[in-house]
Chains A and B, each alone.
Chain A
Amino acid sequence: QKEVEQNSGPLSVPEGAIASLNCTYSDRVSQSFFWYRQYSGKSPELIMSIYSNGDKEDGRFTAQLNKASQYVSLLIRDSQPSDSATYLCAVKEADSSYKLIFGSGTRLLVRP
C-alpha cells in the first residue's frame, strides 16, 4: 500500500526561527509532491508544489525533494505565529494523473 509518512508533532519553534517539516513516501516512482497548510477547523490550501530534485523557493517557504531517498521537506524561514497550523504532505500517485495520497500532517506551533 502506498504511504506518506509525517511526524505528527507538534513541532514548536520560536518566532523568527526556521521550521523544518519532513515527509517520506513509499512509492519510488512518484513524480509530484505538494505541501498543504490547514488551519484548525479550515480546509487545506496549497502552499508549495515540487516535481524535480533539489530546492524550490517561494518567499519564506522552501520545498526540498530527494527522490533517491524518497524524502520531501518544507522549510519555513522567519517563522511567524500566523504560520501555526497543520502541514499536510501529499504525493501524486504514480499511476494516476490526478489522485493524491496525503500524510496525516505535522502540527507546527510558532511561539511569540
Chain B
Amino acid sequence: NAGVTQTPKFRILKIGQSMTLQCTQDMNHNYMYWYRQDPGMGLKLIYYSVGAGITDKGEVPNGYNVSRSTTEDFPLRLELAAPSQTSVYFCASSYQSAGGVDTQYFGPGTRLTVL
C-alpha cells in the first residue's frame, strides 16, 4: 500500500491564482482530512469528509473548497490565492477501529508559497 499520497510536493502561486492540491489514499478509509500547518504551529483542520459525497468545514475553511466523489480521492481547491495561504498542507485519512477510536495517517505534505 502507498498509504496517503499528495501532489504536488511544492508549489509557488501568484496572488489571485487558483490551484488544486491532490490527495489519494489506498487504505479504503472512510474519513479524510485536510490540515494546514504554519511555521512553529500545530495543525489546523480546513475540511474533512466522512465518506464519498459528504464533506464539512473544519476550523479554517475560508478560501478553500473540497469535493469527495470517491472513497480514495479528496482534492483541496484554492481559489484566489492570498499570501495568508502560504503554508504546508497535509492530507490525512482514518478508519474507525473496533474500539471506536481511529488513527489518522498523514500524507507527505504540500509546501505552498503565495507571492
Contacts and interface: CB of A to CB of B under 8 A. Distances in A.
B43 A98 contact: no
A105 B45 contact: no
A105 B42 contact: yes
B60 to A, nearest CB: 12
A65 to B, nearest CB: 14
B103 A46 contact: yes
A44 B45 contact: no
A86 to B, nearest CB: 9
B106 A43 contact: yes
Interface stretch (B13-21, B65-73, B74-82, B94-102): B94-102
Interface residues of B, number: 24
Interface string A6-49: 00100000000000000000000000101000000011111001
A46 B102 CA distance: 11
B50 A88 contact: no
Contact of B42 (A43, A88, A98, A99): A88
A71 interface: no
A61 interface: no
A43 B4 CA distance: 11
A72 interface: no
Contacts of A104: 40-42
Given A32-B101, A42-B108, A98 B40 contact: no
Contacts of B34: none
A8 B40 contact: yes
A85 interface: no
A43 B100 contact: no
A-B pairs, top 9 by smallest CB distance, nearest first, are A102-B42, A43-B106, A104-B42, A102-B43, A98-B31, A104-B41, A44-B106, A103-B42, A32-B101
Interface of B: 31, 35, 40-45, 48, 50, 58, 90, 94, 96, 100-109
20 contacts: A4-B42, A8-B40, A32-B101, A42-B108, A42-B109, A43-B90, A43-B107, A43-B108, A43-B109, A46-B104, A46-B105, A97-B96, A98-B31, A99-B45, A99-B48, A100-B45, A102-B35, A104-B40, A104-B42, A105-B41
